[in-house]
Chain A
């Protein structure tokens, strides 16, 4: 029910290849450009962080599987720029171009340190929590966005339809399932929920090991 990005628990990916601690932050110069271009474009305010995550998730599965990390970023950024009419397909194809009405919102070099060090907190005033630390909760099944078919959600498939225990309550946070789709921030109580690894994966998992996820209230029911 979710998309190709939702790969927690998947088989077949082979070993993880650690890198030396001192490896360069950006292996290629264009990786750095891609990251900076994405951040600077985001500051034009034409989309939310949740929408930009969704733009990467809804790359065609064949592209998602074969693109390198920053290729996904650039592809998603391009799709967002066109969808929001910040640029046009004709401009991408090399057609004539003109100064954008959004040029006044351009991220200026001297404001970068301030913008990066401020960040964008997602805690908001919201409804009172329905669950308390220690409560048993069951996660939504299937793991779908219940407002938008194929929409963004942060409940991974592997944790869907399982019972866990609330171990922390974080107040209300912006709800990605609405915020990714121009349906508003819709803040909801956010919890950390602990699941038994045995319960998620079966007897191959070590007894006592746990997996923790941060989950919004509407993903959860009392168990």
Chain B
């Protein structure tokens, strides 16, 4: 079979029609159940998303033993909270501090911790982010409104294998005594990719 041959050119040029044509053919052949597609879409549109990661971060901020487990074995720690599955099979958590800022990218495709953050936003999958996050992370951070002092070291994690990275942002000042549920409302998706900071109260 030719290695670089492309059958996709046989489909309609309009993307929505292209997808519809393929779904219709696969359904006729008994290869897919449209109801299963609905279930997959419902899962990622409504159930699995950044609120999962935010719950993990808020717990790490309030439960030092959990934080230690999360940093030493992220996969097991997030599984304790029920967060397992596709594109979250192997999890490493990295913690932002005054000295170190972590940021996550996938330069080769769009690897992302689905089980914790859901489906990646468009910018994460964009050529600009994939190309530039590794070379000029501070320039990219500035586009997100984040400016770091040179004394803060930037560590960029390029997700080249099946390890998925979760950034634990710094806990905002003025949140002493807050419950994990309230703290989770401050944890943004971008802060868990390392392209933002947690909201201030």
Contact = CB atoms under 8 A, between A and B. Distances in A.
B32 A41 contact: yes
Given A8-B135, A25-B45, A37 B122 contact: no
Given A63-B6, A107-B36, A156-B160, A209 B110 contact: no
B4 A120 contact: no
B62 to A, nearest CB: 22
A6 B119 contact: no
Nearest to B15: A71
A171 B162 CA distance: 12
Name the residue among B39, B45, B138 with the largest chain A CB count within 10 angstroms.
Answer: B39
Contacts of B49: 25
Nearest to A84: B1
A75 interface: yes
B121 A8 contact: no
Contacts of B39: 109, 112-113
A9 to B, nearest CB: 4
A160 to B, nearest CB: 12
Contact of B15 (A16, A53, A70, A116): A70
Interface in A105-141: 106-109, 111-113, 115-123
Contact of B11 (A37, A92, A159): A92
A76 interface: yes
B127 to A, nearest CB: 5
A147 interface: no
Contacts of A155: 160
A78 B10 CA distance: 9
Contacts of B87: 119
Contact of A102 (B15, B31, B105, B128): B31
Which 5 A-B pairs have CB atoms at the shortest separation, nearest pair first? A103-B30, A8-B107, A214-B161, A75-B8, A82-B7
Interface of B: 1, 3-8, 10-11, 15-16, 18-23, 25-26, 28-33, 35-41, 43-45, 48-50, 84-90, 92, 105, 107-110, 115, 118-119, 121-123, 125-132, 134-138, 140, 143-144, 150, 153-163, 188-190, 195
Given A7-B127, A63-B6, A87-B25, 6 more contacts: A17-B126, A76-B8, A102-B30, A156-B108, A159-B158, A208-B153
